[in-house]
Structure 1
């Protein structure tokens, strides 16, 4: 087995493996577009018997966390030829990927798991879920008159980006989309129909990307910055009632749509979605904006991370009054001396907490975090509350 970075010469071999493993076939045009993407990605592979036996790719992204853009490595395309499975090659690739992301200052990583349990073994943890709705036309929100207007058609990209960027920064774990991602992923996958809501001052405040086909209104993405825009978009959707029988969409896990309906008994499902992993505790926490404090806070974190040994150990976290953090690893002798005064947790638990998906107190309650009550409470106060959400897929 030989682990190495793959090059453009390996593209055909990688695509053959992907098509086989994920059971799809691409056209010549699609293959050429994938070739261009392949050149931008960090692709790692295992060579055996003179061929690519397994591979994965690291896609360079930025993600919003506590309103800031963090460098993120998106793991995708993990595949192995069936004759080479159960040999530990994916585990080797994931170790290699963590080392690569650490070198490239990608302090956090996301992936969409085929199995949550499988990737938990390597340090990733669930960080986001969403609500999936299906409504019949008779259940749609009541039409309301709003002071703004809807413009349907093909809005310029800067208009959609302006709305999306403000919306995405309100959550943890959303993508900071570049123009290429909008063109190659959002526009292609979210629906060819687009409509924008403008308020009374002609400022764009919401949009919907959708398809209307065979009596179904399928919302690929719906974004609104205030309640007025939400009502305006739903009224626009409801005005299709003579053309459609049902509407489907996804929304943040905390979404209040059902509560705001005359009949809240609609079909809704909570779907666990992506996983996240802190790649470098030091890099991640150094740029993480904690909550403002009444007095400086010092917390000791004993982190367990078998697959990224640079994270393993006891870290001293200091949070200033303005929420700025500094962190450094304690020496081995200090680690044992302070053992009864620190919080003990895995990298998975730390990720879930700092992403905002779970709170320190509730993780302690279910045994995922151990330590003195005053230290846990200090961490609880230091981590800002902000919901996770992800509108994209890779």
Structure 2
């Protein structure tokens, strides 16, 4: 099966395929914008049938935060096939090819938003983060005391370095948050209202991205670096009580705000969101910051990957570090999916065992708990 990188003259075919597969229409005004974005920021792989594009996959080079460090990440998006060519192995071939390309480019991690979780689990991706969507009624909008700082609103046409500063500080505390570059910020804030909280020293400490329409306020991003900023942003939301009947906030599921409000018993829905994949397990193991110094005894981990054969490897962890090891009968066996869920903090070893996804003794469970530092996964973006 011949897979090629689409050139600019085929971008319109890629757009047409997306329109058909995802059932939307791109306006004439936006076509050139999309073609330019593909040219600048996407690598589009395609398979032709009868000299026409039949299937495609977009690879988006990005970086993410993991353990406060910057990692290369390959975003997978726009995977589509015309119905007459489906179930012909096109998508499987494109996914495998993209993993090979990511590995070659040093993208140790891949992420995507799934149309189907079981489909992408088959190819090695796994859920790594949830979203908490909280819906509040007007009667829930009760201020929490006062703060010494202030709120400043911005338009999306203005430069907002304070937004970037706050986001980067916040994002580096989580597993998986996207490192946003200038062009990406433009898509994030488009058509949004922006409100930044400043402390009394005029230092930015938090922000909201939100819309207000038809008596509803949708807070797409609620980011606070400390308790004061959290209170200030909440009080700003409450100031809309004369304009709205309902407020929706999207946050990570451990957001402290909702325990502090006057009536915490609000409608809250947790939704699994994005998926992650370890592209190159050897590079991942070498660069991840393990808690190996806590190990009293060595631990062998065998990694299995049914789709990316280069990841079928074994590793020995001890107090001094980690090294590759020949497969043996000792130790713990983890799928590439389970390893990602553990290392991004989405699931603990005990949770995987309770789910039937990890066969380990109590001693091995304790070793894994010591080996993998606790972290909070989150992802605000979409592609």
Tell me which interval the TM-score lies in, with the shorter structure as reference length: over 0.9
Q: Deviations over 1:45-81 (max 9, x none)?
A: 1111111111111101111111111100010000000
Distance, in Å, in 2 between the alignment partners of 1:296 and 1:109 is 33
Q: Which ranges in structure 2 are unaligned for 5 or more consecutive residues? A: none
Range 201-210 or range 34-43, more displaced: 34-43
What is the TM-score with the length of structure 2 in the denominator?
A: 0.94
TM-score (norm 1): 0.92
The equivalences for 1:232-251 within 5 A come to 232-251=232-251
* Deviation at residue 295 of structure 1 after TM alignment: 5.7
Structure 1 residue 69 corresponds to structure 2 residue 70 = yes
List per-residue Cα deviations over 1:157-202 (Å, max 9, x = no partner).
211011000000111011011111101x2112xx431111111111
Tell me the C-alpha RMSD between the 2 structures. 1.7
C-alpha deviations, 1:126-168, integer Å up to 9, x for none?
1000110111111124242101111122463211011000000
1:169 aligns with 172
Deviation at 1:319, TM superposition (A): 5.7
- Quote the offset at 1:236 in angstroms: 1.0
How does 1:1-394 map onto structure 2 within 5 Å? 1-39=1-39, 40-154=41-155, 156-183=159-186, 185-188=187-190, 191-291=191-291, 293-294=293-294, 298-318=298-318, 320=320, 325-328=321-324, 330-331=325-326, 335=327, 338-339=328-329, 341-394=330-383
Aligned 8 A contact 1:144 1:232 in 2: no
Task: Encode CA deviations 1:98-146: one digit per residue, 9 max, x unaligned.
Answer: 1111111101111100110111110111100011011111112424210
Q: Which moved more, 1:255-264 or 1:26-35?
A: 255-264
Distance 2:199 2:292 in 1: 34
How many Å separate the matches in 2 of 1:246 and 1:115?
30
Report the 3-state secondary structure (helix = DSSP H, G, I; strand = E; otherwise coil) of the residue aligned with 2:208: strand
Report deviation, 1:32.
Answer: 1.4
SS in 2 for 1:293: helix
Deviations 1:271-305 (A, max 9, x none): 11011110011111211112373467643211110
Contact 1:141 1:260 in 2 (8 A): no
CA contact (8 A) 1:125 1:351 kept: yes
CA distance in 2, matches of 1:148, 1:356: 34
